[in-house]
Structure 1
Amino acid sequence: MVLGQARDEPPGWYIEDVGRGMIYKRGRLLGQGTFGCCYQVTEVTSGRVYAVKVIPRARLTAVGIGARVEREQELHSHLSHRHIVRLHGHFADRSHLYLLLELCSRGSLADILRARGRLREPEVRYYLRQVISGLHYLHGHGLVHRDLKLSNFLVTEKMQVKIGDLGLARGAAPDGQRWGLELYRRIRGALYLLPPQLSPQARALITLMLDPDPVARPSLRDVLDHQFFTQDLSHTNIGRGKPLLVLGTV
């Protein structure tokens, strides 16, 4: 027990990237996940602020964790899009691996939903457009994210959404094959519930997107052309002035 606790101790208040000669001052805790913790850090020379994902070396030996971290590093190094979290670099010391990421200071959409409880559909449209833009970019590079959830949609100070955590992303599955297990049983059986407060347009779009027949589902372009998005353009003021804490499940 004592050894396990020691392995998961946070890094010091100052974190050094020896290879690049950079020193970062650790700030507030941004979140915790399967790999480790994420902190806000400041590069002491330039004053630039980042997020750093801190992964104890001991966890890299767990089944699948090391490969997932390597995949995330590799994919991020080839991707550049306004709605994908940017990886600025990675380095390590004797006890931790560090992924230096673009800072999304307002947390995730999961955090925002917990604070709000419910979101208005114009707000959903505003942010969902950004998510779709990021997904379109990933799909254009032959990648399937495979872990799309609110906690992996991060929000910047200017209320811009960034898709993060590419550790489970893979190339599209070959014809006749699928990635996953239980999820696909639910998809094939159309086993899901819709909240009663949804508008008819929202219900219609979700039903289309969750059609058991993949051929019948709309493309990302078709999604954006659906009446759910075209019925109301009042989203243009969202994010101006005092930022709204917005977005959750449709």
Structure 2
Amino acid sequence: MGTLLEWFRTRREVKIIRRIKEDGKKVYNCVVQFKDALSLFLKKDMKGAKNAIQKVSNIENECDDLKRELLTELTKGELSPQVRNDLAHLISHLDQVANSANAGARRLGVLKPEHIEPIADMLLEMVDKSIEGAEVLRDTIEIEIEGKTEDVDASITRINYLEHEVDQIHYRILQKLNQLDYKEFSPFVALTMYQLIGAIEQISDACEATADFVKIINLQAARQK
């Protein structure tokens, strides 16, 4: 039982497996909640947006708590060093998805809707593709845990494609921003907008990094057959 994939297939340490599945679902919910926050913000429902931003923060905190619990569990289980290390990396990669959504939500909290209205449609498109990426990643983690690696490659390819699409939208946003007159925007607002866009892109980047790590796990298992 040298690789993480083999460990998943044995169904040992059920508590850890259950919590990894829970973490994948919470990470996905965090990204969905960020979309709600952005939509309410663009509709100028500032009270609703504020509540949604807080929900993103709460879910991200829950993901952090779950991460700490999982890492603690790893020290208790009878795991090989490689399995323990791979699980820790998988959990950390997943956590980055929620962290990125929360980073984007925090930036919304200090901006005004008019600041991002010129790029609103493209931001929403980025987030929609990031949500799909997080959804596919959640399902990929569950498939991986079931040991059905033959179904994983297509999911990983889809996540890679979505990340590329987000990159393309990011580039279009930068082109649009370069055409706007920002004389009325302070340097702080400009920097915060840039950070918001970067945080949204980082959601899909983190999904891709997690998916790529799953692929590495499977390649390790294939080499040891």
TM-score range, shorter chain: under 0.3
TM-score by length of 1: 0.25
More helix by share: 2
More strand by share: 1
Asked which structure has the greater RCO (Cα within 8 Å, sep 6+), the reply is: 2
